[in-house]
Structure 1
Amino acid sequence: MSEKNTLYLLDGMALIFRAHFALSKNPRINSKGMNTSAAMGFTNSLWEILNKYKPSHIGVAFDLSGPTFRHEIFPEYKAHRDETPEDISIAIPIVKQIVEAFNIPILSKQGFEADDVIGTIAKKAARTDEFEVFMVTPDKDYAQLVEEHIFQYKPAYMGNGVDILGVEEIKKKFDIDRVDQVVDFLGLQGDSADNIPGVPGVGPKTAVKLLKAYDTVEGILEHVHELKGKQKERFEENKEQALMSKELAKIKIDVDVPFEEDKLKYDGFNKEALSKIFDELEFKTIGKRIFGETSTTKKSPAVQAGQMSLFGGAAPATNKVEAEEEVQEVIEIKNINNTLHDYHLIDTPELRKELIEFLAKQDKFCFDTETTSLEASEAELVGLSFSYRNKEAYYVPVSENQDEAKALLEEFRAVFENEKIEKIGQNIKYDILVLMQYGIEVKGKLFDTMLAHYLLEPDKRHGMDTLAETYLHYECVHIEDLIGKKGKNQKSMRDVALEEIKEYASEDADITWQLAETFRPLLSDNQLTELYDSIEVPLVNVLASMENFGVNIDTDALKDISTELGEEVEKREKAIYEAAGEEFNIASPKQLGVILFEKMKLIDKPKKTKSGQYATGEEILQNLAKDHPIVQDILDFRQLQKLKNTYVDALPKLISKKDGRIHTSYNQAVAATGRLSSTNPNLQNIPIRTARGREIRKAFVPQNEDYIIMAADYSQVELRLMASFSQDDHMVEAFQQGKDIHTATAAKVFKIDESEVDGEQRRRAKTANFGIIYGVSAFGLSQQLNIPRKDAKELIDTYFEEFPMIKQYMDKAVNEARDKGYCETIMGRKRYLRDINSRNQVQRGMAERNAINAPIQGSAADIIKVAMIDIHDWMKKEKLQSRMIMQVHDELVFEVHKDELELMKANIKERMEAALKDKLKVPLEVEVGTGAHWLEAH
């Protein structure tokens, strides 16, 4: 191919749509709240072409609004297409500005589509014999235009390489004899996206079979008599439709558009215009890449010096991958350089010694563990991987013999426990816990790429594979490729060939190293470094310590509770059958709906689900419960059965065989608010509102008689934060004076003295207090309090009259979020609200409620995390026998040695109440209790 005369014709709309949807799960939102995914993806695709292929000529075609000639042929053409997403509509004019700033002509013609314009110009250019033409689009329709000097360029997607399709590739792809048969293929099978009807019952395989036999659509129609059965009928009935579909699928190559060679010649971009657009869109890294080379292309000092030993030379590695400054870069372009790596197997004592020496010289290194289980407390090490330089990594296999494994780990103790060396990892808590099983304590500063991304994009996914694709344009080897999908046939990592696991594990360490270098400046740019360094990272060791120690469970107590629950479930079951007059599967929504709404006719017009079944959800049954005893029995049955199955019978199965304790996993990077969650078991969901639910806490007991359980719980922390943020005089005063906030609120709302407030008034005030924080509506409050909506609205209006600063805070929070596109906590934890300016009222309303509530929930999370870190460090420094064992919502639970009880009581309360005290207008209050089990302590 000629390097001088290459013409690239881009289908603008196809590339915009593709970029938007490629990033739909991880959209790129700038600080103004604009979704710039489409513009970013398009720009990267365009720059990839300009920078890598250096076309001599280039143009971008766009569809114009209004009908085309195809609508004249078939008015329903594209009639079924959904309305263009709002974010794409906003992106189109921006992309056109970008194209113009690149000094690239925009090509279009009224009454025709972009593919017709591209088709015409492509054919004209190819006919000169002076051009190789590349049609840049993922659209399969363009395949019909491919010929000797015309190619289809399909951009990379999700890590896959670019496809450049010529004649032979098209023939193979469609399994046809000639390229011009593509249009027959498309016409036969139709296109639901464009509403091209095609021939009913004809799919890709049938289309290929018919074309091999009869060459074209016309050829098939001439031989309809040779077809059989239903197929024959369909072609006989749809002859005109078949020909029309082919015409609709055919790209015009004779549109009245000129091939203006001079205008299409590419001579470079307008830097000033492009810089202005990039500044508006906040495309920092794209700008760096286009306006000047980054250090990613530079060789490391060791390589420059010719030091090519296995570990990269005598000096510590200092080269870095220049950090990405965009929160989300290209997801579709796979960086070819990432395939050029140096991964080494370290499988002898001599090589391990040399690796350890080089690790000891670094100021930071990345490490990762390969194990036999996702549960750290049960896992055995299979291998360790290390990286301290871009695209270099080292894999150390670990023996299945545990004595040999411990001996090998002992070799690495010094570097893992060196406090001067920063340790980098992806979900590093897991790796720390695994090494704890071998007596190794990971010391020194930590950097966790999962947590870094969690702070940068709390609502997104934080898995390494996703991060690699999003930020490094690189597709990792997936674990399923090594061990298979989950199930009985899944292999263990011990079963994987050494060479494969070496590549896989080394890649993990290498990519994590690169991600760390990418995220460091992003944390700084987004003012998240303090939050990251002072809260999230120190919390890793706190949670690892809690998880490793675990919780003691009284299985006998659980057996007793299980028996009691089983008896109560059976009792409710009998009552339900008696009321229904027959036995049925109560757990089946379908059968339950038939009983309640067809047989018993509890309501005249019951709601139905999308599948046509009667709706029997919790909310619907709650509304019926007070009038129909069977419904209350059903609700009780569900609750009791869930308690039994989900908690009482499940907890004993989670007890570790190693130490007889339960080791939950705390998740730092799940809840977008900053709250912790937990799994196996989910401690946050252990019921507390019902007497039966609370009984489960009886089973959480100390390890022996020398210990006692202590629970410390923040009192009304979210209301205190609302008072502090709003600075409402009445609410601040109530908390400062130690008043009961709900009584004080009731007195204000009902305009009576506090001594006159009765239980019902306090209950309403309490519901309003917490409801307001969550943006409750008059309807929602009426449902919660079982009062008329009018009364609920009056209660809300009066509330805001008496506490005007709260209303001002809520309005201010929403307005600031509209301006910034995010809200934040007292520690600067951000929650991005991409729907805050949406035209969709429901989505906007949800974002507005988050703008009010997320700073409160997130600040509560900041407070308890600060307290946990302080308490953990204090207990460790004092070398106490007592341990912090659980965190549940606003509560910390401890297993306290009785000799340390008074010391613990005083210090825990003091330290929890002191957390972020200087940032609050009202005091925090902590209630501390003790007992023989968790329920008694709480």
Structure 2
Amino acid sequence: MKKLFLLDGMALIFRAHFALIRNPRINSKGVNTSAPMGFVNSLLEILKKQEPTHIAVSFDLPAPTFRHEMYKEYKANRQETPEDISIAIPIVKQIVDAFNIPRLELAGFEADDVIGTIAKKASGAGFQTYMMTPDKDYAQLVDENTFLYRPSTKGGIEVLGPKEVLEKFDLDRVDQVIDLLGLQGDAVDNIPGVPGVGPKTACKLLKEYSTVEGIIENVDQLKGKLKERVSENRDQAILSKELATIKLDVPVAFNEDQLLLKEPNKEELVKIFNDLEFKTLLKRVFPGEAPKKVAPKPGEQTSLFGGAAPAAKAVQEEVVEEIEIPIDTINSVAKNYRLIDSEERYQELVEYLSKQSEFAFDTETTSLDSLLAEAVGVSFSAKKDEAYYVPLTLDKEKDQKILAHFKDLFLNEKILKIGQNLKYDIQVLDNLGIAVKGPFFDTMLAHYLIEPDKRHGMDTLSEHYLNYKPVSIETILGKKGKKQKNMRDIPFTEVYEYACEDADVTLQLKYALESQLKEKDAESLFYDLEMPVMETLRVMEKEGVNLDVPSLETYSVTLADEIVQLEKDIYDLAGEEFTISSPKQLGIVLFEKMKLVDKPKKTKTGQYATGEEILQGLRQHDIVGKILDFRQLNKLKSTYVDALPKLIKEDGRVHTTYNQAVAATGRLSSTDPNLQNIPIRSSRGKEIRKAFVARDEDHVFMAVDYSQVELRIMAAFSNDQEMINAFKAKKDIHTATAAKVFKVAEQEVDSDMRRKAKTANFGIIYGVSAFGLSQQLDIPRSEAKQLIDAYFEEFPSVKKYMDDVINKAREDEFVTTLMGRRRYLRDINSRNFTVRGMAERNAINAPIQGTAADIIKKAMIDIQQWMNTQNLQSKMIMQVHDELIFDVHKDELELMKSKVKELMENAYEMKVPLEVEVGEGTNWLQAH
């Protein structure tokens, strides 16, 4: 069977770009590669799974088409093409050419006309043709041999033949798709249609009168406004149908041989993919074909420093032979990597490093969990291309004796210690009784401040800043999976070069990044905030928190009983048993058997949509409310109630991991468990917080929470006197806002007014639109707009701040917090208003949210330093958003309440005073 795939290149480029717009793929050169990556992924899926015999890609050309001649306003209201897409188009064309896939382009015609013409000719020649595009207009071309192959931005594929088209559009004939488009118009292409006629009305008219022309001929049979609209717009309807019609007689030849699937141009494709940094895609296209790295020759000297490595050459070559090379200009300088495995050499290395002003170090371990990890060895580097590896034995007593040689070195506060993700390595050494004192330089955190939106892994940084790809861990341990080895299983003769390279690369990254910190005015933020808070977080992680496991176990049983009862209720209402957690089975029950709606929405794969948003809109039905409760309880039980006890370590406590380099705004996140997402609003969710308890009867929980810190920062940034005065007078800011916006006395503000004012207060910080506010408050958009207008009328300084910060961002292409943290906004000047709008919202929010993050980090540093000087039994154990939680010894409670409040409220001086609320109790819920 001859199988032809015709791809709409422009449509796929746009789809890929906007699918990843919230998390774009930016390579080390600053190029947004989302569209090329998405396009290639789609192409490879076709080649692998669909196995076409013939293929082509069609592109629109920038010249006007015959439709512009017919109607000068055609596509006139389209936004400017985003700059990243303009850059992506020629790249994608190069990729298509390198795959040896023909490009179909013709001036004066659009890609759909070219594809339509080829598809019809191919159908007549016995081909099965698949038109790959997200554009629904292609549905008019479908026949028994021609199919619409529609990719979804959420994943999955929708293949439409004649039967599926008729079902999807509720039509009698495929050619009526053109009439449907002519009647309803197309806002994207600025096809006018008949004003006021939407899909439902159009389908109803077509079922009765067959075509646009048939409707116009029978206009006298229509009634009311519809008759008036069709009558007044009959010429416009005919024009719209012509504009929506895909031409099938474009002067383009159909040549079977030209469309045959061919082998790609390997050399050209490798070059393009390396330039784009598509390492994974390169492996998919050419498995095992990446070039190899040449093994460096060991030095010939015999002294320890600057001399030859003692490992066998055969081992060295065996290890490095498998390393892939991502770029042509790889660093091939010979490395002096040495094993240090005797008392004499320990002393020599310590003596050498003690004379240095700085050194990089890295630990090789058995686990990614720093509290469980056993150290296999430690590597050091104090000079470019030179490093030393100290293997350990995994016998704690023996390893402590080995590391004792290095104890004073790590304690020396005159030597800068450099590392990549230092918090982890410091904790690993702490497990063996080796304390590491600063000053510190963490290359991961340095890059986080330099490029907060990018990836900060060592390999990525090395390729970008050093033009060098380090040895992959998989080269040593094998690929991830059950068969992957553990570092404890690898002889140190096979590990030492890999370990040395990590320390060497980290040292070289420090050289590259410190100048970047200075250039970006981030030195103070790095040395005075991020480095000190790193150690504070490590201490908190090590401390952990107690869990009341019996209460969670009891609650788990309670939830299980509630879930069983909900199941029974749902089965009774449905009249049958089914798998409630199966979207497919649930959709059939709700929409086919119970018929809750006339025309239920479907997913791209053809299943009924049963997501949260869909079900919330049907909550008036008893069964839907119970299904939503069923989902919530299952998630609560599996994600928290049953999962938390499994995270308890040998000391009987739960130890989260704080991620310092994830959120671009500067906020901390946490994993295993994710403390930031523990629910607190619902009564069921509060039971989770109740399970976090003080360590013993001599301790209590103390929670200290910044009060409305982001609104206070907004007031300070905008210098709005009304807001500042309200905060200084200790008024309820939402009540005060409601009184101003609704123009009533504060005592007359009811709960609904306060709710709306509160939502507006926080929404304004995030640059909320009238549409967004209407969704949040479930009110008409017009009312939401009035609320926003009234807000800005009463708080004009807030509006001025928002306008000023956006204008300043357009000049600088970044915004800053009060402490100098930058958020780069590469799309702030985009001509595309969707892309630009997102950047503008970030411009408003990032300085506020980032300043709040900086303030609590500063408070944590101040508190930890004070607690260290006091030698207290109390401990700071958790940070969640604007809240700090302490395990406080009862004898120290009053001192802690007073001093922590003082330090938090004085962490940063602003025009608006910072305030905190202090709570105490035997568990987190009581204290919060």
Query: Could you tell me the TM-score, scaled by structure 1's length?
Result: 0.68
**For 1:831, what is the secondary structure of its paired residue?**
strand
Structure-2 separation of matches of 1:245 and 1:781: 51
Structure-2 separation of matches of 1:695 and 1:77: 58
Q: 1:92 to 1:708 in 2, by over 3 A?
A: closer
**Deviation of the 1:875 alpha carbon:** 0.2
- Mapped pair 1:754 → 2:746: yes
Structure-1 separation of matches of 2:703 and 2:831: 46
- Mapped pair 1:506 → 2:503: no
**Deviation of the 1:871 alpha carbon:** 0.2
Q: Deviations over 1:599-649 (max 9, x none)?
A: 222222322222222222222222221x11222211111111111100110
Contact 1:335 1:472 in 2 (8 A): no
- Give the letter for the 1:921 counterpart: K
Contact 1:29 1:834 in 2 (8 A): no
**Deviation of the 1:730 alpha carbon:** 0.8
Q: 1:499 to 1:753 in 2, by over 3 A?
A: same
- Give the letter for the 1:779 counterpart: F
Contact 1:345 1:395 in 2 (8 A): yes
**Structure 2 match to 1:924:** 914
Residue 386 of structure 2: which of 369, 382, 392 is its match? 392
**Structure 2 match to 1:933:** 923
Structure-2 separation of matches of 1:455 and 1:825: 12
**For 1:370, what is the secondary structure of its paired residue?**
strand
- Mapped pair 1:632 → 2:632: no
Q: 1:583 to 1:342 in 2, by over 3 A?
A: same
- Give the letter for the 2:362 counterpart: D
- Mapped pair 1:656 → 2:653: no
**Deviation of the 1:661 alpha carbon:** 1.1
**Structure 2 match to 1:865:** 857
Contact 2:28 2:464 in 1 (8 A): no
Structure-1 separation of matches of 2:514 and 2:528: 15
**For 1:344, what is the secondary structure of its paired residue?**
strand
Q: 1:612 to 1:138 in 2, by over 3 A?
A: closer
**Deviation of the 1:752 alpha carbon:** 0.8
Residue 397 of structure 2: which of 382, 400, 403 is its match? 403
- Give the letter for the 1:79 counterpart: S
- Mapped pair 1:86 → 2:86: no
Contact 2:57 2:96 in 1 (8 A): no
- Give the letter for the 2:25 counterpart: K
Between the aligned residues of both structures, percent identity stands at: 60
Structure-1 separation of matches of 2:799 and 2:574: 49
Q: 1:386 to 1:706 in 2, by over 3 A?
A: same
**For 1:675, what is the secondary structure of its paired residue?**
coil
Matches within 5 A, 1:784-863: 784-863=776-855
Structure-2 separation of matches of 1:906 and 1:597: 59
Q: 1:877 to 1:648 in 2, by over 3 A?
A: same
Structure-1 separation of matches of 2:844 and 2:61: 33
Matches within 5 A, 1:244-643: 244=258, 309-312=303-306, 333=327, 335-625=329-619, 627-643=620-636
Contact 2:25 2:32 in 1 (8 A): no
**Deviation of the 1:500 alpha carbon:** 2.3
**Deviation of the 1:240 alpha carbon:** 8.4
**For 1:624, what is the secondary structure of its paired residue?**
coil
Q: 1:572 to 1:517 in 2, by over 3 A?
A: same
Q: Deviations over 1:544-572 (max 9, x none)?
A: 10011111111111111111111111222
**Deviation of the 1:81 alpha carbon:** 7.4
Q: 1:340 to 1:248 in 2, by over 3 A?
A: closer
- Mapped pair 1:877 → 2:869: yes
Structure-2 separation of matches of 1:689 and 1:708: 23
**Deviation of the 1:543 alpha carbon:** 0.4
Structure-2 separation of matches of 1:250 and 1:693: 55
Q: 1:607 to 1:201 in 2, by over 3 A?
A: closer
**Structure 1 match to 2:25:** 25
Q: Deviations over 1:836-882 (max 9, x none)?
A: 22233322221111111111110100000000000000001111110
Structure 1 portions without partners, runs of 5+:
1-19, 39-75, 96-113, 116-136, 142-185, 203-238, 252-302, 314-330
Matches within 5 A, 1:137-148: none
Q: Deviations over 1:105-157 (max 9, x none)?
A: xxxxxxxxx99xxxxxxxxxxxxxxxxxxxxx99758xxxxxxxxxxxxxxxx
- Give the letter for the 1:650 counterpart: A
- Give the letter for the 2:915 counterpart: E
**Deviation of the 1:787 alpha carbon:** 2.0
Matches within 5 A, 1:27-106: 27=27, 79-80=58-59, 86-87=83-84, 89=86
Contact 1:28 1:37 in 2 (8 A): no
Structure-2 separation of matches of 1:743 and 1:403: 63
Contact 1:707 1:895 in 2 (8 A): yes
Deviation larger for 856-865 or 782-791: 782-791
Structure-1 separation of matches of 2:402 and 2:469: 32
**For 2:604, what is the secondary structure of its paired residue?**
coil
**Structure 2 match to 1:158:** none
Structure-1 separation of matches of 2:398 and 2:800: 65
- Give the letter for the 1:819 counterpart: E
**Deviation of the 1:87 alpha carbon:** 3.9
**For 1:787, what is the secondary structure of its paired residue?**
coil
Structure-2 separation of matches of 1:419 and 1:455: 24
Q: 1:803 to 1:391 in 2, by over 3 A?
A: same
Q: 1:139 to 1:664 in 2, by over 3 A?
A: same
- Give the letter for the 1:629 counterpart: D
Q: 1:701 to 1:334 in 2, by over 3 A?
A: farther
Structure-1 separation of matches of 2:426 and 2:614: 47
- Give the letter for the 1:510 counterpart: D
- Mapped pair 1:681 → 2:693: no
Aligned length: 680
- Give the letter for the 2:58 counterpart: A
- Give the letter for the 1:935 counterpart: L
**For 2:349, what is the secondary structure of its paired residue?**
helix
Contact 2:529 2:858 in 1 (8 A): yes
**Structure 2 match to 1:716:** 708
**Structure 1 match to 2:255:** 241
**Deviation of the 1:335 alpha carbon:** 4.4
Q: Deviations over 1:351-381 (max 9, x none)?
A: 1111111111111100000111100111111
Structure-2 separation of matches of 1:87 and 1:29: 13
**Deviation of the 1:698 alpha carbon:** 1.3
**Structure 1 match to 2:885:** 893
Residue 897 of structure 2: which of 874, 898, 905 is its match? 905
Structure-1 separation of matches of 2:264 and 2:429: 63
**Structure 1 match to 2:660:** 668
**Deviation of the 1:92 alpha carbon:** 11
Contact 1:835 1:847 in 2 (8 A): yes
Structure-1 separation of matches of 2:688 and 2:104: 54
Contact 1:376 1:430 in 2 (8 A): yes
Structure-1 separation of matches of 2:446 and 2:361: 16
Structure-2 separation of matches of 1:246 and 1:376: 55
Structure-1 separation of matches of 2:641 and 2:61: 48
Contact 2:56 2:102 in 1 (8 A): no
Q: 1:583 to 1:311 in 2, by over 3 A?
A: same
Q: 1:758 to 1:821 in 2, by over 3 A?
A: same
Structure-2 separation of matches of 1:843 and 1:646: 35
**Deviation of the 1:248 alpha carbon:** 12
**Deviation of the 1:242 alpha carbon:** 5.1
**Structure 1 match to 2:727:** 735
Q: 1:782 to 1:353 in 2, by over 3 A?
A: same
**Deviation of the 1:783 alpha carbon:** 2.3
**For 1:396, what is the secondary structure of its paired residue?**
strand
